[in-house]
Amino acid sequence: MAMMRLRREDPRVVGSFRLHRRLGAGGMGVVYLGSDRRGQRVALKVIRPDLAEDREFRSRFAREVSAARRIRGGCTARLVAADLEADRPWFATQYVPGPSLHDKVNEEGPLPAAQVASIGSALAEGLLAVHEAGVVHRDLKPSNILLSPKGPRIIDFGIAWATGASTLTHVGTAVGSPGFLAPEQVRGAAVTPATDVFALGATLAYACTADSPFGHGSSEVMLYRVVHEEPQLLGVPDALAPLLHACLAKDPEDRPSTLQLSLRLKEIAAREAHGHGPGAGGYGGAPGRPPGRRPEAHADQDTERRPGGTPTPRSGPSSPRSGAGTGGGSGRPAGRNTPARPAQRRGPRPPVRTDRPDRPDRPARPAHPVRTAPNGRRPSGPDHRLLRQRLTVFVVVTLLVALGIAAAQGCQGPANGLGGAPGPKGSVSSSAAPPSVAAVPDSRQAPDSQ
């Protein structure tokens, strides 16, 4: 908002506020930038001297200030203080930094549909709070909307009227911009919340086209167009044109309510932002990574690294080996639409590494070499056929020795009773030589010869 220096005729102090700059002038008076003792800045409006002398105006102004105190909304400038009994009545509202919607469009041109819908949705919510307090703004226009860092704010409730009041009841009180007045205001009918809906529709059309929907001209021409001609919405985006046309209906009953307007503008703002925003199509996914890809931090959980650094798939359901499952031997998770690779014959497995920097959570396994046969297969162990042959020879030799000992003991007794010299009792003659194994059959035939 442009600020100007104070003029000679301007007051320096009003109430408990010190005035610093001029913010503008309107049909009711002059608006100043002021501050209180705590440093809080306010926008203070002082009523014109000719209106201050009108008792009827003072009474209506008192009713409007009382109604404005009841407004509670984030999109309105809060009423801070007022003095209705001063020589020149005044009221102070919260100062809102930022350019007006009129200045922004005048400097930068028409706004995009998403931004217009977002601003309109916030303004509709602010008007809903105003109407719930029983107040109609009556003069909503681009210059009365400030674009603060925290969102749009509605200002200048100085000419607001209570619901049901008429507009042209007294000469000098018909204030407002002709291109944004509703038809019922021009006719002098009662104002309703639908009056502000008409003004909001004209304001949003201006934000889309940088022009009034009823063109330019004198006040009489503009007022005639408002009452009898249709608005010109050329240049309004297709997403907003039907809704703004409904807001500018001649009959207040044909206009949407403030709540309906707020909800509809929210939907349009969300759709336009989703379709044309910088992150279109990427909502809900992690930035910088296409959907469906596994994070790199988990890519090596199902693989083992060979000594050369090449990862090989580990056995398990999540990473099947060659020829198993639908993932083939590529180490991809099962369920991917990839052709299965033919099974390949594996060579000898390399020794297991004990230094596993990629998997510090697993204990190191001892390294041991794996012996392989020349044909690439592991050896099957000792020759079982040779073991059986050796065992058979050992058993046969043992049996032969046992039989020889038994035969020698059997032949020794008959030799002593057939003519051998008797020796001492319990002794065997030293001259008698033990028979050989071949003499055993002859000794067994001796009784037959006798």
Q: How far apart are CA 314 and CA 30, in angstroms?
A: 81
- Over range 394-420, report the average pLDDT: 73
Mean pLDDT of the chain: 73
Higher pLDDT, 43 or 167: 43
The least confident of 67-81, 241-255, 397-411 is 67-81
Q: How confident is the model at residue 349 (pLDDT cuts 50, 70, 90)?
A: low
3-class DSSP state of 4: strand
In this structure, of 118-127, 160-169, 338-347, 376-385, the range with the lowest mean pLDDT score is 160-169
Give the C-alpha distances (Å, rounded to integers) separating 144 from 99, 108, 240. Answer: 10, 18, 22
**pLDDT band per the 50, 70, 90 thresholds, residue 164:** very low
Single out the residue of 228, 179, 219 nearest to residue 199, CA to CA. 179
The active-site residue, picked from 50, 83, 139, 355, is: 139
Q: In this predicted model, what pLDDT tens digit does every residue of 179-225 receive, in sequence order? A: 899 999 999 998 999 999 999 999 999 999 999 999 988 989 999 99
pLDDT score recorded for residue 124: 94
- Domain locations in the chain? 13-275
Token duo for residue 214: 């009823």
Using 50, 70 and 90 to split pLDDT, how confident is the model at 152? very high
Cβ atoms within 10 Å, residue 449 = 6
Residue 265's identity, in one-letter code, is L
Q: Which of 439, 449, 446, 448 is nearest to 407 (CA)?
A: 439
Phi then psi for 49, rounded to 5 degrees?
-60, -40
The candidate with the shortest Cα–Cα distance to 302, out of 277, 323, 327, 267, is 327
Ranked by mean pLDDT, which of 156-160, 250-254, 371-375 comes out on top?
250-254
Whole-prediction pTM: 0.57
Give the model's pLDDT for residue 273: 86
Please give the Cα distance from 132 to 72 (Å, whole number): 9
At how many degrees (to 10) do helices 193-209 and 113-132 cross?
160
Residue found by looking up tokens 């379709």 in the block? 275
| Residue 139 a catalytic site member | yes
160 within 8 A of 176, measured Cβ to Cβ = no
Architecture of domain 13-275: Orthogonal Bundle (1.10)
Mean pLDDT of 246-254: 96
Minimum mean pLDDT among 31-35, 210-214, 363-367, 432-436: which range?
432-436
Average pLDDT over residues 297-309: 42
Closest CA to 49 of 90, 82, 4, 7: 90
Span of 116-130, 288-302, 386-400 with lowest mean pLDDT: 288-302
Count of CB atoms within 10 A of residue 262's CB?
19
> Residue length, the chain?
450
Q: Where are the beta strands (DSSP E) in 238-338?
A: 303-305, 311-313
Rounded CA-CA distance 125/132 in Å is 11
Query: How large is the average pLDDT for residues 329-344?
Result: 45
Determine the Cα angle at 419 with ends 417 and 421, to 5°.
95
